[in-house]
Amino acid sequence: MTAARTGLLAGKQVRRLGFGTMRLTGPGIWGPPASEAEAVQLLRKAVELGVQHIDTADAYGPNVAEGLIRKALFPYADDLIIATKGGFTRQGPGKWTPCGVPAYLRQCVEMSLRQLNVEAIDLYYLHRVDPKVPLADQVGELEQMRQEGKIKCLGLSKVDIPQITQAIAIAPIAAVQNQFSILDNQSEDVIRWCEQNEIAFIPYAPLSAGRYFSTGEVRGQSASATHALKWLLNYSPVMFPIPGTSRVEHLEENLRSDIEG
């Protein structure tokens, strides 16, 4: 790997192009995938192709994606970062409600430890800030669990600079995960702030949830995806895209984005 293909995330030098697992579930990010065997095969293929950063969440399924990761990849390679998130409740397909009550966040962490079968989570995000709970209480509980050794590094998702600044006064923040893509640059100020403060930025929906594809033809989609991922990797050295897919051929195309000139 060249320096341009790698970066520092959660204390490890890893390939910047990772893999997101949200699509390894049923419709509406609810329930199991159509084929668990294919999902397991896809995860193993991703690591075989050099992925060192896998992003997931307890809400994916819920409790489906984390279990698939454990089944596919445990025992985990030393150079693999598994990042997960907590702070949502699920009421059904496509339904999400933030819950930042400290006791619930502690439960989320404990359940993810069990689902992934680890003693400490490499990178744990507050999946969404709960507007009904003081941010200091939410981050403070996660920081307490970091100090207890249950979490190695902390991250935040869908946040602005004032929220990041408030969180950093309470706990060290290793990564920020906001929506960002070639079609959505609303987090540009956050990215520049992350660059200045040496914090990793993980763009979710890096392929604009499919909106960037101009045709329904698979090869056309693959070419568009590769272009969009190259654009992200070139946009900032702190950028760690996590494109997801449920198909091996799309995985292989995506992972060529940091190889082809």
Q: In the Cβ-directed half-sphere of 236, how many Cα atoms lie within 13 Å? A: 25
CB atoms within 10 A of CB 95: 12
Contact (Cβ atoms closer than 8 angstroms) between residue 257 and residue 17? yes
Instruction: Output the six-digit token pair for 179.
Output: 């929506």
Average pLDDT, the chain: 93
Q: List the single range of 126-135, 147-156, 168-177, 251-260 with lowest mean pLDDT.
A: 251-260
Mean pLDDT (whole number) for 96-109: 99
Task: Identify the DSSP state of 61.
Answer: B
Give the global pTM. 0.93
Instruction: Output the six-digit token pair for 221.
Output: 């989609």
Q: What pLDDT shows up at residue 44?
A: 99
pLDDT digits (tens, 9 = 90+) for 225-243: 888 999 999 999 999 999 9
CA nearest 257: which of 214, 57, 245, 199? 245
Strand-pairing partners, residue 125, are: 85, 155
Is residue 251 pLDDT above 90, yes or no? yes
pLDDT digits (tens, 9 = 90+) for 67-88: 999 999 999 999 999 999 999 9
Contact (Cβ atoms closer than 8 angstroms) between residue 156 and residue 128? no
Mean pLDDT (whole number) for 155-184: 98
Bond before 33 cis per omega within 30 degrees: no
Question: Can you tell me the distance from the alpha carbon of 145 to that of 213, in angstroms, rounded to the nearest whole number?
Answer: 41
Mean pLDDT (whole number) for 79-106: 98
Q: What pLDDT shows up at residue 223?
A: 58
Q: List the single range of 53-57, 113-117, 166-170, 212-216 with lowest mean pLDDT.
A: 212-216
pLDDT digits (tens, 9 = 90+) for 188-220: 999 999 999 999 999 998 886 444 444 444 344
Backbone angles phi, psi at 90, to 5 degrees: -120, 135
Task: Identify the DSSP state of 155.
Answer: E
Q: What amino acid positions are annotated as catalytic residues?
A: 60
Q: Which residues of 57-89 are buried (b: 16+ CB within 10 A; e: fewer)?
A: bbbbbbbbbbbbbbebbeebeeebbbbbbbbbe
Instruction: Output the six-digit token pair for 132.
Output: 């009904």
The fold for domain 14-254 equals TIM Barrel (3.20.20)
CB atoms within 10 A of CB 249: 11
Question: Can you tell me the distance from the alpha carbon of 138 to that of 102, in angstroms, rounded to the nearest whole number?
Answer: 6
Is residue 4 pLDDT above 70, yes or no? no
Mean pLDDT (whole number) for 108-115: 99
Mean pLDDT (whole number) for 142-158: 99
The percentage of residues in the chain with a pLDDT greater than 90, rounded to a whole number, is 86
- If you write DSSP's letter for every residue of 206-260 in order, what string do you get? TTGGGTT---S-HHHHHHHHHHHHHHHHHH-TTB------S-HHHHHHHTTTTT-
